[in-house]
Amino acid sequence: MCRSIKTLRPPVLPEEATEEEIRAAALQYVRKVSGFRAPAAHNREVFDRAVDAIAEATADLLDGLEIRGAAPHRAAG
């Protein structure tokens, strides 16, 4: 696991994860899996699409998690 990716759910994160935190985690994941810190121009589009898809999946995951003894992490929407 990439050490730069932090846990984004309570109680580890005291407040709701921001879009920026979710996107940063997605970016770190794509960098780790692809092996590119910054992709070449011919790979930029697929790299950015992967970051977007992972950020969306992460937000969906956080929206759906039920943490015992805690209020819902994110507002349903």
Digit-coded pLDDT (tens) for 21-30: 999 999 999 9
Rounded distance, CA 47 to CA 10, Å? 29
Give the SS3 label for residue 36. coil
Beta strands in the chain (DSSP E): none
pLDDT number for residue 11: 78
**Residue range 30-55: average pLDDT?**
96
Q: How confident is the model at residue 77 (pLDDT cuts 50, 70, 90)?
A: very low
Indicate whether 12 belongs to any domain.
no
The CA-atom distances, in angstroms, between 48 and each of 17, 21, 26 are 21, 16, 10
Indicate whether 49 belongs to any domain.
yes
Indicate whether 14 belongs to any domain.
no
The percent of residues above 90 in pLDDT, for the chain, comes to 61
Domain that residue 46 falls in: 19-64
Indicate whether 54 belongs to any domain.
yes
pLDDT number for residue 3: 67
Indicate whether 73 belongs to any domain.
no
pLDDT number for residue 5: 82
Indicate whether 69 belongs to any domain.
no
56, 64 contact by CB (below 8 A): no
Indicate whether 51 belongs to any domain.
yes
Number of structural domains (the chain) is 1
Rounded distance, CA 71 to CA 30, Å? 30
